Structure 1
Amino acid sequence: MEWFTSSGYWLSRLVFQRGLAAIYLLAFLTAATQGRALIGERGLTPAPRFLARVPFRRSPSLFHLHYSDRFFTVCAWLGAALAAAVLAGAADDVPLWAAMAAWLVLWLLYLSIVNVGQVWYGFGWESLLLEAGFLAVFLGNERTAPPVLVLWLLRWLLFRLEFGAGLIKLRGDRCWRDLTCLYYHHETQPMPGPLSWYFHHLPKPLHRVETAANHVAQLVVPLALFTPQPAASVAAGIIVVTQLWLVASGNFSWLNWATILLALSAVDGRMAAEVLPLPTPPPLAAPPVWYEVLVAAAFVFVVVLSYWPARNLLSGRQLMNYSFNPLHLVNTYGAFGSVNRSRQEVVIEGTAAAVLTPDTVWKEYEFRGKPGDVRRMPRQFAPYHLRLDWMMWFAGISAAYAGSWFTPLVGKLLVNDRATLKLLRACPFPDEPPTHIRARLYLYRFTTRRERHAGGGWWHRTLIGEFLPPVRLEQVDPPGG
């Protein structure tokens, strides 16, 4: 039925679904490789303790039925295998109902992980993946044309993502209004990438242009998503370009790539085919009645849930990255309502000395992504998500962000816990664990061009003070012993 489906978006749907399957694959791989150390039975914030105090209605998850590290790992690898199959095109080779079931299983498995993930899964892109993944259930496969109602819901999601991020900036830090935030942001963002040093050293007038362009891209362009084609496709293209700029300048997990996929879902393939050598659309059958009913029900469900995020957009007390329901559907988004003017990093050190003296030699633990060794070039890890590295950035802002997990982390390092050490880039005590651990707070800044050319490395750091005084194993209580 022409009013219900639009064959012109078949390629946009294909790209969106395959890309979303790739993000799911990465998310499940992250859970499989990091989950045991972070939320396992002997992890930094054990999931069994969380499940014991939080009821199912507040955090629906399969793990309320049963939790063990083995079961968690099986679920993560099952999700990864299913995502890989969908990425390879399996959902287009099965009946429509089976394709919908595959997307639904992916959503349920990842929801179960997020809802026991605690601080490690408190990022906006977790809810973004779940919300987009829920809508993907109703997008169908190549056996039927894309449903118009779901295409509009994808645009509504993209609008909230971009417009909400733009509003939180204008309502937040003054530097967004005077166009100076990017004087600092490339240096103080959570995890700089290999090009961040170069972005930071762009001329200040260009930084102001960057900031102004960001406001246009997030506050003006999204409005055009609801206008007729080709304006909506042009708006989507602008969003894609701005997101690629963010991909080049930092590490924001899969946030930018998910936004790009949402934008591509708004591109009309018929118009794109006039300027690009795109393949011919395949024959698409009329949708079955049961499918139309499910899509209509999902549309009404999302519209009802949209009341709360829509009200939030209009509120002077706008919430950022907040879910109004435990299913993480129809959320509010946003990022960097405030921008740090300086970068503080927590550096963890250990020693094998039995007795501490002023001459004690301390050795640093190296993380994979966060700044440490001033001579080590920042690396590109996104869209892979280094959860511990991100939380270490928050700890540098305030010790309050490290209240639930930092002492357990120290305890794990004092026993050379194998799962925890796998989260790090290097352990300075490969044979025997250290006798003491301490943490110090440093002020980091990018080196100037002159310092860099003189061999000064990528960072310069200055000691601020003590973050954690030296402790021995008996002074901490790592979860699970």
Structure 2
Amino acid sequence: MEWTAWFDAPEYEFARQVLQRGIATIYFVAFLSSHNQFPALLGERGLLPVPDFLAGFGRLRRPTLFSWRYSDRLLRAVCWAGMGIAATIVLGLPQLGPPWVPLLAFLALWLLYMSIVNVGQTFYGFGWEMLLLEAGFIVAFLGSDQTPPPRTILILLAWLVFRLEFGAGMIKIRGGREWRDLTALYYHHETQPMPGPLSRQAHLLPKPWHRVEVLGNHFAQLVVPFFLFAPQPLSSVAAGIVIFTQLWLVATGNFAWLNWMAILLAFAAVSDPVVHAVIPAIPLDWHPAAAGTSPDAGAAATGSQAQTAWLVVVLLATVLLVVLSYRPIENLFSHYQLMNASFNRWQLGNTYGAFGTVTKRRIEIAVEGTLDADPDDTADWREYGFRGKPGEVRRIPRQWAPYHLRLDWLMWFLPLRTVHEEWFYAFLAKLLEADRPTLRLLRHDPFDGARPRWVRARSYLYRFATRKEFRATGQRWIRIPLHESIPPLSLPPGG
């Protein structure tokens, strides 16, 4: 229909493919992470059991399939269903049908993962959880190969990138002085939650380069997002800058799927002609439905009715998301800007932001156990090894993102808040029991499945070794003992 030409954006077909398949891939990773970690962290015998959480709050106000009943078996079924649906979208199967099919597939991912997040407590209290939920809901309305991408949905995805980037930029300007005096990157690569294999090299770069990094960050987050709404090719250039800066963060750290989501969402502003100009191997008319056929009159009428119905659904979703944008806009320009907050139970129209202040020192909590009866300093204390957080001083940090190691992330927060967290004492108790699901979350159990008599927590100051120190010792980290954070604990008799 000619009167709907404004609604169609056929020149963004490549963007749609990247958005649908890419975000489905992140959903797959998120469900896989939950399948592997949720039962030990939050399951029936987890550190913060969901049944206890539900019993304490009665029926939750936030929607979740587990409101009526939780079991580890049901949780795993939800994860497997989510991974299965996500895999079909990655393969492009729902996109072959009418637009209702990928719509229902993405809404199913959104509802299934929201069910997990809403009972995930502190282990799911990260901004990228709500980012994935909101992105999954919006991308659901991108349609299928039988319809051109809807322009309003692409604009809303660009608006999501704007909130993500500009919100992070504003929280930094309003936050620690280190962002304003350009010294934040003197510390960040070293003190970030989970360094990657290149984090030390990034930290050891000259300080003038770190100042350039901060200036580049301010430009990318405070100036560039406005150009996502500019005419082509400016919007594609703006998206390219976002993608480039996010790739630098991917290379120098482990922020679960936060950076990958920003990269994928930025493609909402990248048009097919720009893609073809950058990568000539990708043709302008590669979309399988672009050629089309000449339908008969009956099929045309049916198709027209379906297109009208689809237009109405997309416009209703657009109006809903525009209305929900009022609170995020208000928050962006508030002196009391909230970071990573949702204003409704469906986690749509959220506000985002990260690292308003940068930690200047890296304090790590090491967990140790001993088989000795007397837990004094002469005992044979052995340290548990975590998968992602720093421990052994010679070990190269691994690249985990977009996979999310939830226990390791929470361990980073402990010294910033308090070690006397309910979940951490539950974790120590599980180590005393040699609980196998808990031990599987770790990289190394020094007792090979045996029960330690005592466990304790000690704090250390960590910093990256200089090049000279590394050549002399082979250590990538220098660590200095600070104090005993939690004295030796044991199970009660008969425990």
TM-score, length-normalised on structure 1? 0.96
Distance 1:415 1:229, change over 3 A: same
Whether the 8 Å CA contact 2:366–2:384 is kept in 1: the answer is yes
Residues 234-270 of structure 1 show CA distances to partners (whole Å, capped at 9, x for unaligned) of 0000100000000001000000110000111210113
Aligned to 2:158: 155
Aligned to 2:9: 6
Q: 1:293-304 counterparts in 2 under 5 A?
A: 293-304=312-323
Verify: 1:119 aligned to 2:122, yes or no.
yes
Verify: 1:435 aligned to 2:442, yes or no.
no
SS at the partner of 1:300?
A: helix
Q: State the 1:77 CA deviation.
A: 1.1
Q: State the 1:475 CA deviation.
A: 9.0
Q: 1:64-103 counterparts in 2 under 5 A?
A: 64-103=67-106
Aligned to 1:364: 383
The separation in 1 between residues aligned to 2:396 and 2:426, in whole angstroms, is: 29
Verify: 1:388 aligned to 2:390, yes or no.
no
Verify: 1:46 aligned to 2:65, yes or no.
no
Tell me the percent identity: 55
The separation in 2 between residues aligned to 1:358 and 1:10, in whole angstroms, is: 65
SS at the partner of 2:443?
A: strand
The separation in 2 between residues aligned to 1:149 and 1:348, in whole angstroms, is: 51
What residue ranges of structure 2 are gaps of 5+ in the alignment? 293-303
Structure 1 segments (4+ residues) deviating >6 Å: none
Verify: 1:355 aligned to 2:340, yes or no.
no
Whether the 8 Å CA contact 1:192–1:378 is kept in 2: the answer is yes
The separation in 2 between residues aligned to 1:413 and 1:152, in whole angstroms, is: 49
Whether the 8 Å CA contact 2:436–2:449 is kept in 1: the answer is no
Q: State the 1:56 CA deviation.
A: 4.5
Whether the 8 Å CA contact 1:447–1:456 is kept in 2: the answer is no
The separation in 1 between residues aligned to 2:170 and 2:108, in whole angstroms, is: 34
Aligned length: 476
Whether the 8 Å CA contact 2:176–2:358 is kept in 1: the answer is yes
The separation in 1 between residues aligned to 2:59 and 2:288, in whole angstroms, is: 44
Whether the 8 Å CA contact 1:251–1:383 is kept in 2: the answer is yes
The separation in 2 between residues aligned to 1:214 and 1:366, in whole angstroms, is: 34
Q: Which amino acid aligns with 1:282?
A: P
Whether the 8 Å CA contact 2:340–2:351 is kept in 1: the answer is yes
Whether the 8 Å CA contact 2:327–2:343 is kept in 1: the answer is yes
The separation in 1 between residues aligned to 2:412 and 2:85, in whole angstroms, is: 33
Please give the root-mean-square deviation of Cα atoms over the aligned residues, in Å: 1.5
Verify: 1:283 aligned to 2:286, yes or no.
no
Aligned with residue 35 of structure 2, among 29, 32, 36 = 32
Q: 1:200-349 counterparts in 2 under 5 A?
A: 200-277=203-280, 278-279=282-283, 280=285, 281-284=287-290, 288-349=307-368
SS at the partner of 1:175?
A: helix
The separation in 2 between residues aligned to 1:302 and 1:23, in whole angstroms, is: 22
Residues 186-211 of structure 1 show CA distances to partners (whole Å, capped at 9, x for unaligned) of 00000000000000000000000000
Whether the 8 Å CA contact 1:21–1:86 is kept in 2: the answer is yes
Aligned to 2:61: 58
Aligned to 2:296: none
Q: State the 1:431 CA deviation.
A: 3.9
Distance 1:331 1:55, change over 3 A: farther
The separation in 2 between residues aligned to 1:59 and 1:359, in whole angstroms, is: 51
Verify: 1:410 aligned to 2:428, yes or no.
yes
TM-score, length-normalised on structure 2? 0.94
Q: Which amino acid aligns with 2:477?
A: W
SS at the partner of 2:339?
A: coil
Whether the 8 Å CA contact 1:188–1:343 is kept in 2: the answer is yes
Q: State the 1:294 CA deviation.
A: 1.0
What residue ranges of structure 1 are gaps of 5+ in the alignment? none
